[in-house]
Amino acid sequence: MIAKISGGKDTAGLIRYLFDTKKAKDHTDPHLVASWDGFAPDPGRADDFDATKRLLVADLDLHVKQARRHGRAPEKHTWHCSIRAAESDRHLSDEEWADIARRVVAATGIGPDGDPDGCRWVAVRHAPDHIHIAATKVRADLRTARHWNDYLTADRELAAIEKEYGLQQVVRGDRTAAKRPTRAEQEKARRQGRKTTSREQLRTTVRQLVSIAASPEEFLHFLDGIDGVRVDVQHFPSGDIRGYKVAVEGDTNAAGEPVWFSGSHLAPDLSFPKIRERLTGIDTPPATEPSSRRKPNPWHQATAAAERIPHHLDQSDDTVAQAHIAAFAEALDILPLLAPDHLFRQLQQAALAFERASRSRIRAQQDQARALRGAVRALRTTPVTGDGSGLAMFLDIAVLVVIAAARWHQARRHDQQVAAAHQALIHLQAAYEHAAAQPLPALAQRKPPACTMEHHAQEIRAVLPDHADQVLDDPAWPALAAALAQAETAGHDPRQLLQHAADQRALDDARSTARTLTWRIQRLGERHSPGPRAQAPNAHHAVIDPAVPQQPQARRR
């Protein structure tokens, strides 16, 4: 059920609309189903419609007129709440709608249970699927009704009603969603031949710049350099930055002035104070490992950081978990800028969908996710090249992170965030299938001889007895065997490496255990220093050439 609440100052006009059967086509049988005392006159069931309607208006306005004589009546004294059932819901009886109306006015403070001085109200049903509640906001004691946050309280009551009545449970928000484009903005974009509105275009641009910036100053520098976007930075008298606003070049209002959007009007987390909080003190991984001169693979670092997110969601407090979800959203924002063209659309859609799942009423403890944000920003100078195995590896983990985020939100009844995460999952899974189409088959072609395959199969059975059959029957098993052989040739103990990979995180959520293990083995094989076996690699195993042919660098956007 959906409630819409508004206010006004014309009781007669509101009642006239609710009982009108000429202008409104869906007003087929207007009549009262409930009222403040159960005895209100019903114009819809009276012989003299006009006289009864005037009597009903007078009864509703009684306390308003009394309050006016004492100068205490609010200017907008009417309260109007429409409640509509879903199309798939059964038709409720008048008695059921009456119960719903009483519960809503009680929950919102218009007519609290057991309060003889509550406001006067009526519930009008003029169509099978909805009712309207009309009330005046002056109580019998001539005080104005206390109905703050009436939309939220009505929404919570309707959620309980849906469960009790067996109705469709509507996906509900928590007022943290980005503001949707208005109909005027949508029509304007359509007239100009643009697929997205200025608000949506600017929101995507700003989010992507935040994902690659390492400081608030760098974010503003990047923003100032974007073609087609106008930027206005506001300062305090002290000279400190107060905020910013942006506009699409050429998008003007009727007066010919740019249509500006402040960061907070693009999304709640895009105000400059929120951006400054997120970008302060980001830990960027070192260019080289302290113990060696070898440059680490940024994709491996980002994957390792993302792989720890499900643990944070399960073990950390909510503020830390929310921070990691927000940081992961920044990782999704940056992927379309780095990925090949054929993956751009799916990755862009995944980022746009997950944007809604990145915010909730829980305030993020930003300093707990700086390492992850630093790993994400290290990717900005590492576009996808070669066979794209780094991106495929990251997307494999990203799918698991989104599943974990959906469960985390669901446990906290964040309905809109759950729906957004599920939508993002569809696009991420499609992107992963395309990204893995080249590196996995290429690795599988370098599978070791049969005797080595059997040797590694025994190790799988020893280390992962619960997953062994699933792994060995997986089409990705040859790629995993090749990764194990490649690691062994580099001097690693395959069994120890396999155990380490299995211990990193539970494998129960993986769609393909073999594929997930393949990416982990490849990453661990590069990250960990080989032991003594590096001095004398096993000569009985085939040497796997780790070199991967390089392709031209993907075009950056």
Residue 542: predicted pLDDT: 36
Model confidence at 512: pLDDT above 90 = no
Q: By the 8 A CB rule, do 525 and 531 touch?
A: no
Distance of alpha carbon 463 from alpha carbon 481, whole angstroms: 14
Residue 270: predicted pLDDT: 95
Closest CA to 207 of 194, 196, 223: 223
Model confidence at 171: pLDDT above 50 = yes
Query: Which strands make up the sheet holding 130-136, listed edge to edge?
Result: 2-8, 78-84, 130-136, 121-127, 31-35
Model confidence at 552: pLDDT above 60 = no
Greater pLDDT, 93 or 379: 93
Q: What number is the average pLDDT over the span 92-97?
A: 96
pLDDT tens figures, 70-88: 888 899 999 999 999 999 9
Q: By the 8 A CB rule, do 157 and 67 touch?
A: no
Residue 365: predicted pLDDT: 84
pLDDT tens figures, 392-447: 999 999 999 999 999 999 999 898 999 999 999 999 999 999 999 999 999 999 98
Distance of alpha carbon 430 from alpha carbon 424, whole angstroms: 10
Q: What number is the average pLDDT over the span 124-149?
A: 94
Distance of alpha carbon 402 from alpha carbon 355, whole angstroms: 12
Q: Report the 10 Å Cβ neighbour count for 129.
A: 15
pLDDT tens figures, 214-241: 899 999 999 999 999 999 999 999 999 9
Q: What number is the average pLDDT over the span 508-527?
A: 84
The per-residue b/e assignment along 508-529, b for 16 or more CB within 10 angstroms, e otherwise, is: eebebbbbbbbbbbbbbbeeee
Residue 80: predicted pLDDT: 96
Closest CA to 263 of 278, 280, 250, 284: 278
**Cα 407 to the chain's mean position, in Å?**
13
pLDDT tens figures, 351-385: 999 999 999 989 888 778 888 888 888 888 787 76
Q: Which range has the worst mean pLDDT, 39-48, 279-288, 300-309, 339-348?
A: 279-288
Q: Amino acid identity, residue 546?
A: P
Q: What number is the average pLDDT over the span 206-213?
A: 94
Residue 548: predicted pLDDT: 35
Who's near 536: CB < 8 A, 6+ residues apart? none
Model confidence at 22: pLDDT above 90 = no
List of E strands, 59-118: 78-84
**Looking at beta carbons, which pairs linking 163-170 to residues 24 or more positions away fall under 8 Å?**
165/92, 165/96, 167/1, 167/85, 167/86, 167/89, 167/90, 168/85, 168/86, 168/88, 168/89, 170/1, 170/2, 170/86, 170/415
For the chain, the average pLDDT equals: 88
Model confidence at 18: pLDDT above 90 = yes
Q: Report the 10 Å Cβ neighbour count for 413.
A: 11
Greater pLDDT, 178 or 229: 229
SS (H, E, C) 313-370: HHHCCHHHHHHHHHHHHHHHHHHHHHCCHHHHHHHHHHHHHHHHHCCCCCCCCHHHHH
Residues making up the chain, counted from first to last? 557
557 three-class SS = coil
